[in-house]
Structure 1
């Protein structure tokens, strides 16, 4: 049982690494953050884009990571 959860935990970790590496860099400098950053932040279809889907997947994987970490701590201290 413990080994199965450890394998799932490692797979979640690898998925997080892959999803984070797939996300494009957001290095645009301070001037673009002040001038044009609001346009992309309040975009209507941001959740439907590739970046939006990766962001949502990252959030889901991070929640699963935290839950699996807590479950592993509970199982290993039992």
Structure 2
């Protein structure tokens, strides 16, 4: 049981680091807002945001956030203490 806890803890630390880097790589919402005001949201890149790097970063953030919460709950269980 101690080995499983150690492995999960290492995965948890890795997820935390990767999630931090991915969030910092994302473009701020202000940049998207100025593009929407000037009409740039209707361009090719605005319509295909899901296939762009920014869309991939948002998807990765969502997935890693769920993994982060699940691992947090698992590591907090009484069986590991």
TM-score, normalised to structure 2, is 0.73
What residue is the counterpart of 2:13 in the other structure? 10
TM-superposition CA deviations, 1:29-78 (whole Å, max 9, x none): x87766658758xx431100111000000000000000000110115555
What residue is the counterpart of 1:44 in the other structure? 47
C-alpha contact 1:24 1:51 (8 A) present in aligned 2: yes
C-alpha contact 2:5 2:80 (8 A) present in aligned 1: no
The Cα RMSD (Å) is 2.7
What residue is the counterpart of 1:74 in the other structure? 77
- Which 5+ residue runs of structure 2 have no aligned equivalent? none
1:23 corresponds to 2:26: yes
TM-score, normalised to structure 1, is 0.75
